[in-house]
Structure 1
Amino acid sequence: MALTIDSPPSSPAAQVRPRPRKPRRVLRFVRRIPGYLCVAVLLLLVAYPLVWLFLGSFKTQAEFLNDSTLALPDSFTNFDNYSQAWSSVALYLRNSLLTVLPALAIIVVIGTAAGFALEVMVWRGRGTTLLLFLAGIMIPGQMILLPLFTAYFELHLTGTLWPLIITYTATGLPLTVFMMATYFRAIPREVFEASTLDGASIIRSFVSVAFPMMRNAVLTIALVQFFFLWNDLLIALTFTTSDELRTVQVGLLNFTGQFGAVEYGPTFAAICINVLLILAIYLFLNQRVMRGLAAGAVKG
């Protein structure tokens, strides 16, 4: 018969954990105050222009001319500014979509394929080719506008949206190729070796293996290029020769009312439509963008 010895019951003082001292909590909170103040200032700097822009979209022309810029609108149900702005902004948005989306699709497909070829495939001269793409990043866009305009004029492409599509594709490819090559560097080579041993061709490896693994990276690059192309003003201002071809940024720059007078209410409403559209796209795809950026930061 085994004997068991019961341990003496612990005292109540030993069972109760010591509570953290209040001075430590106060000191920790005091140390975090500068960080909280910095976040509050940054939030104010970002939110104030958006709120001011949104409130201004409900004001009439008389309120802009007579009242203070900090005054609230008399009515928040004045949607005449938005209806008047939409009649012109709809055309500008359509032109932006017709130029940005085709250019973005070409950039993503060719850029991803080039990044795969430069980083995964082994062939002579790939290092020099990558340096050429990097050199394309360092060329200022202002240097190529006049030669391109002359070339488009000789090819009878002026008066259409093709100059914007071609120029957007050419300016977006160097950065896309460089970033995609960086993302492919993080994928283990054993994955592609296994697909080759299974009988997959190089095209099948790219379509069935590489591209699905790079979905977050492709979405991140596509979103970055989308914002860059959508917010472009210089190229669109150079190659748009009529009001029917203006993109949204050029249209907002020349957004005037009757007799050339600036109508502030419709102008603010038009800017709000553009800003809210871009903000909604970013907020909807924010998490995927963060995952794509994190994937590119890991080196295999």
Structure 2
Amino acid sequence: MTANTYAERSKLSRIVRRIPVWIVITVLLIVVVYPLFWLLTGSLKTQSEFLNNPTWALPEDWFNFDNYIEAWTVGNLGTYFRNSILAVFPSLFFTIVLGVAAGFALEVMVWKGRGTVLLLFLAGIMIPGQMILLPLFTIYFRAGLTNSLWPLIITYTVMGLPLTVFMMATYFRSVPREIFEASTLDGASIYRTFISIGFPMVRNAIFTVALVQFFFIWNDLLIALTFTTRDDLRTIQVGLLNFTGQFGQIQYGPTFAAISINVVATLLLYLFLNQRVMKGMTAGAVKG
């Protein structure tokens, strides 16, 4: 057997071994990408195209953005989008600031009872959110907060804290203790150590936790549906329910356009933070 023949057979063998991998990747792409493609193309169709053409048919006009305009204005999607932003980002701010500080205190600082406090936070993860909705609604109603976004901000912050504290404590555990000890020996206070040393070293982890909490809050329907009693306070997930008309009639084009705006906005955010999220997901798994 010549060298060329052996090289060709070796190359052919590698190609054959890769065929199952390619098949699996192709199937996954179809399963993941096709629904998104179907959603985006459906947002460009008219109502008559949905009713008269097959579901897999492509739109007749690829530059018909009337559905997006109708969803944003007539469907009041702009208001729902604004409410989601006003509910998400304050909740994220409070959750991240309090969660990072608590994680630092529970893992880096040495004090009596910190293990018990961490277990209490872990217990909070195990409590189903549905169990506390009625008591919270009663409290918000008596406090006069039901006609605002504050019930959403408070609830999202409280429900996001247990997981955030647990994850941040795990990430701080991966940071070498010698770094914090050296900072203390140099005369830095505990607050200075947290702001100048601890916070920057878990920066990528913070992005990961923030993204996890963002998707939880942004895609929430139950909490927002429970605590928003006025249409001008509803978030985008609750607002999508309004695209179902009387007797169950649905305007498919504007509905698909509204869902597309929701999906694309979150997808672009993930693509923008993808590298930081990947680094953050592996940070807590390695002891530095």
* TM-score between the two structures when normalised by the length of structure 2: 0.95
After superposition, the C-alpha distances for 1:263-285 in whole angstroms (9 at most, x for unaligned) are: 11011001111111111111111
After superposition, the C-alpha distances for 1:186-205 in whole angstroms (9 at most, x for unaligned) are: 11111111111111110110
In the aligned structure 1, how far is the partner of 2:245 from the partner of 2:61?
Answer: 22
Match of 1:137 in 2: 125
Match of 1:3 in 2: none
SS of the counterpart of 1:183? helix
What does 1:138-157 correspond to in 2, within 5 Å? 138-157=126-145
The structure-2 alpha-carbon separation of the partners of 1:190 and 1:247, relative to structure 1 and needing over 3 Å to count, comes to: same
Q: 1:217 aligns with which of 198, 205, 210?
A: 205
Bigger CA drift: 24-33 or 253-262?
Answer: 253-262
Match of 2:105 in 1: 117
Q: 2:52 aligns with which of 66, 74, 88?
A: 66
In the aligned structure 2, how far is the partner of 1:103 from the partner of 1:18?
Answer: 65
In the aligned structure 2, how far is the partner of 1:296 from the partner of 1:254?
Answer: 42
- Give the deviation of 1:130 after TM superposition: 0.2
Match of 1:31 in 2: 17
Q: 1:264 aligns with which of 236, 252, 277?
A: 252
SS of the counterpart of 1:254? helix
After superposition, the C-alpha distances for 1:148-181 in whole angstroms (9 at most, x for unaligned) are: 1111111111111110000000110000000000
Which amino acid in the other structure matches residue 191 of structure 2? Answer: I
Once superposed, what is the RMSD of the aligned Cα atoms?
A: 1.5
What does 1:175-214 correspond to in 2, within 5 Å? 175-214=163-202
Match of 1:53 in 2: 39
In the aligned structure 1, how far is the partner of 2:272 from the partner of 2:198?
Answer: 25
Q: Percent identity?
A: 69
In the aligned structure 1, how far is the partner of 2:221 from the partner of 2:163?
Answer: 19
In the aligned structure 2, how far is the partner of 1:197 from the partner of 1:77?
Answer: 65
Paired residue total = 284
In the aligned structure 1, how far is the partner of 2:14 from the partner of 2:197?
Answer: 49
- Give the deviation of 1:72 after TM superposition: 1.2
- Give the deviation of 1:23 after TM superposition: 1.7
- Give the deviation of 1:259 after TM superposition: 8.7
Which amino acid in the other structure matches residue 166 of structure 1? Answer: I
In the aligned structure 1, how far is the partner of 2:249 from the partner of 2:150?
Answer: 32
After superposition, the C-alpha distances for 1:26-63 in whole angstroms (9 at most, x for unaligned) are: 12211111111011000100011001101110111111
Which amino acid in the other structure matches residue 37 of structure 1? Answer: I
- Give the deviation of 1:18 after TM superposition: 4.4
Which amino acid in the other structure matches residue 221 of structure 2? Answer: L
Which amino acid in the other structure matches residue 102 of structure 1? Answer: P
Match of 1:166 in 2: 154
* TM-score between the two structures when normalised by the length of structure 1: 0.92
Match of 1:85 in 2: 71
SS of the counterpart of 2:58? coil
- Give the deviation of 1:140 after TM superposition: 0.6
Which amino acid in the other structure matches residue 138 of structure 1? Answer: M
In the aligned structure 2, how far is the partner of 1:77 from the partner of 1:206?
Answer: 52
Which amino acid in the other structure matches residue 76 of structure 1? Answer: W
After superposition, the C-alpha distances for 1:223-250 in whole angstroms (9 at most, x for unaligned) are: 1111111011111111111110110111
Which amino acid in the other structure matches residue 119 of structure 2? Answer: L
In the aligned structure 1, how far is the partner of 2:113 from the partner of 2:241?
Answer: 45
In the aligned structure 1, how far is the partner of 2:138 from the partner of 2:128?
Answer: 18
- Give the deviation of 1:254 after TM superposition: 2.1
In the aligned structure 1, how far is the partner of 2:8 from the partner of 2:60?
Answer: 50
- Give the deviation of 1:253 after TM superposition: 2.0
Provide structure 1 residue ranges, at least 5 long, that are not aligned to the other structure.
Answer: 1-16
SS of the counterpart of 1:85? helix
In the aligned structure 2, how far is the partner of 1:197 from the partner of 1:45?
Answer: 56
- Give the deviation of 1:258 after TM superposition: 8.0
In the aligned structure 1, how far is the partner of 2:3 from the partner of 2:63?
Answer: 59
Q: 1:99 aligns with which of 78, 87, 93?
A: 87
Q: 1:75 aligns with which of 53, 61, 69?
A: 61
- Establish whether residue 242 from structure 1 lines up as the match of residue 230 from structure 2: yes
Contact 2:176 2:287 in 1 (8 A): no
